[in-house]
Amino acid sequence: MPQHPPAELAFRVDAAFDGYALRDFLARMGVSAGLARQVKRAGGFFADGNPLRTCDRVAAGMTVHFALPPEPPTTVAAEDIPLRILYESDHAVALDKPAGMAVHPTLNYAGGTLANAWMGLLAARGETGVFRPVNRIDCNTSGLVLCAKNAFAAPLLAESAEKWYLALVEGAPPKEKGVIDAPIARAPGSIILRCVSAEGKPSLTEYEVVRRCGAHTLVKARTITGRTHQLRVHFAHLGCPLAGDDLYGGSREHIGRHALHCACIRFAEPASGETVQVESPLPPDMAALAQM
């Protein structure tokens, strides 16, 4: 595959940063210390075409520019798999993952993953790169996966990203909106199951009822903490397990997987700071259940 010139970044020095050491200016621009060290080894920093050390002072009106270091090699194979992109820029891409597709290759999913699909798309474009997801969702959870396209964007996206899920739960939560505050621990004797336990880690879920759907309720939820199976465990704890989630007491009568969809991600574009919101509609299986 042909190699392409590394991506470049440029930052103009405003008056507020006049006299800053370059390393401090870069930190204010969102360049991590680790990335700055990589750039120094790979080619260095420049101000209006002249080399610049990280201890040097920047002046108002300067434009600091540098090439991002090459991406590390990847072992993820490129595969020709259809891929739905809902947003893409120089620094970020939001992919719409179908239920049943793993995010990364694992022992159980050696291929056919979102990572394989992304590498396949890059190959088809004649581009190089890696698969760098900012959020991960279960194989049977559908919806948005936000990925950073370079090392500069990764920590900034991870810090700013907020995601909301849509879930179809059995029955109805006790309140129209609320916060579930219940610690989660690994279930005794299991490496997979989680449970609410006083010995667990603090876990918070914010939710709001969207509409009643017969025997089910469509809820919007956000995990304030990020525990394994958090939404599934918390709604089961309320007595409202996710439809299809037989691992936590839900019925598979109407849907063959847990009815959970990452429907919205909001984040700050790394270079500009502009707020971006990406939304994914309910997939057909959940949409059909919501109409019953």
Residues with Cβ within 8 Å of residue 273, at least 6 apart in sequence:
none
Contact 262, 95 (CB under 8 A): no
Of the residues 138, 245, 246, 285, which is catalytic? 138
Burial readout 78-102 (b: 16 or more C-beta within 10 A, e: otherwise)? bbebebeeebeeebbbbbbbebebb
Residue 128 burial by Cβ neighbours in a 10 Å radius (0-12, 13-18, 19+): middle
**In 10 A of CB 248, how many CB atoms?**
19
138 labelled catalytic? yes
Q: How far is residue 112's CA from residue 78's CA, in Å, rounded to a whole number?
A: 10
Q: How far is residue 144's CA from residue 279's CA, in Å, rounded to a whole number?
A: 8
Residue 175 burial by Cβ neighbours in a 10 Å radius (0-12, 13-18, 19+): exposed
Burial readout 259-280 (b: 16 or more C-beta within 10 A, e: otherwise)? bbbbbbbebbbbbeeeebebeb
Residues with Cβ within 8 Å of residue 151, at least 6 apart in sequence:
35, 38, 68, 69, 71
φ and ψ at residue 228, rounded to 5 degrees: -60, 130
Q: How far is residue 199's CA from residue 145's CA, in Å, rounded to a whole number?
A: 31
Indicate the residue type of 64. V
Collapsed DSSP state (helix, strand, coil) of residue 225: coil
Give catalytic residue positions.
138
